[in-house]
Structure 1
Amino acid sequence: MSTIREQLIKEKYQVELRSSIQLKPVNPELVPHTIILDTLGLSTKSIKRVLDQLTTHLGHSQNTTPPVLAVVNIESKDKQQIFNLGIKDYISFPIIKEELVYRVNQVINCFNYSKGDFLNPIYEKSSSAGSEHILVEKTMEYLTPRLNDEITLDTLTRKIGTNRNKLNQAFKACFGLTVFAWLRDQRMHKAAELLENTELTITQISEQVGYPDSNNFSSSFKRIFQISPLQYRQSKHRTVHESKK
């Protein structure tokens, strides 16, 4: 966990390191935006017990529990179990800095959005915030199961029943991204999971996340993770090999 802390501090995050029984932050004014839980060596029952403690403590003090990211061994075959417990996402161990930063940013943005903490304070105070919130929700519900589809902005706005300016304005206010930048991030997140957990080729993965041209896919992936899809997969395989020594 010290490695995670060091990496996040470098990215200008404020980080507190706590054991599972030290849930109360040193600074009571500090509201965590996400919690990173070290699950290495823990049973499902133990993980659930810690999550229950978090819900009890933070749910009472803040009315909502921040999203939890679990640190899991890269070799684990039971990653689906952590989602069943209510954990939002996982970070593979050994840690890859680019993956860590990306996943933390993703869950924080989603958490802020779910609370209505829009990035643009003017937007937050606007009387149209409610309708824009619904617009973003509707768009996310439409796009999430269609990551492999070739989608144009004109087609999307017709399906959702809005125009491109309103749609991009809503996504920028909520996530600091245009709708297609948000969609790209979701596709790259899915691609990273496929690279880590399947033997699909780069071309097959690019097609599964909506990129018929694997070169365009590789360029987009590198913009997010700062390494190519092949390098990402090799780094995952290398850490598995090293952990077996």
Structure 2
Amino acid sequence: MSVSVSPHVLVIDDVPEDIRSLLQALRAQQWRVSLATTGEQGYQRAQSLEPDLILLDVRMPDMDGFALCRLLQELPRVRHTPILFLTSANAPTERLEGLSHGGVDYILKTCDPAELIARVKIHLRLAERTAATPQDEQDGTAVTHDEVVLRAAMRLISGRLAEPFTLEQIAADVGTYEKRLSAIFRQRLGMTVFAWIREERLRKGRALLVETTLGMQDIAEQVGFRSASNFTTAFRERVGVTPSQYRQAAQQGAALTEPP
């Protein structure tokens, strides 16, 4: 994120005519205001302009605001930029989803322009404090778009292991399409999307066996298996021992041979 005397605000909205009064209020602050009207354009402009703050719509065609937010969270030079959802999507589930994806605020398009300006000013001040602290070492590392999509998909899946997935859902949630997502996983990880999901579920299962006292059914449900028996079968095939044997060995301090 760039820090400048005149803050730079990027607005991403497919129908900017709907927020004309809000855009006028932003420009009246003598801030630099850039506009993108698609998710893809917003991604490109966020990457090239490195704005100080992003105002992001939710309901956009092709790539919605939630998918774009996931991608921006994986861009090293943008991930610290505050993202404020500015939208007409007012359902409680949408508000929670926006905030859970890393949005720092959720503002309705019907808000008074003065309220929008007040909220933006607060987050610009908070962002200045964040910029004064050391950021992670990879902030200056260039990443390809495929790497961004891969990281976003992996983070999304890891946070929803208990839920059923379709390839179409995952792809849409990270702003791409099924064939492209499948190709990225094969090229970068050498496996299909669902093979990686299975590995991640078993990895999380191993961690829960060691770190908790949860029963097998509870662990199975948390990592996305329908039953304890399904989890046990998959675990034994991958690790070579049953979950109970794995937990017992861990409790006894025995050396555990992790699968490659």
Greater Cα radius of gyration, structure 1 or 2: 2
The verdict on a shared fold, with TM-score over 0.5 as the criterion, is: no
What's the TM-score, normalizing by structure 2?
A: 0.40
Kindly indicate which of the two structures has a greater share of residues assigned to helix: 1
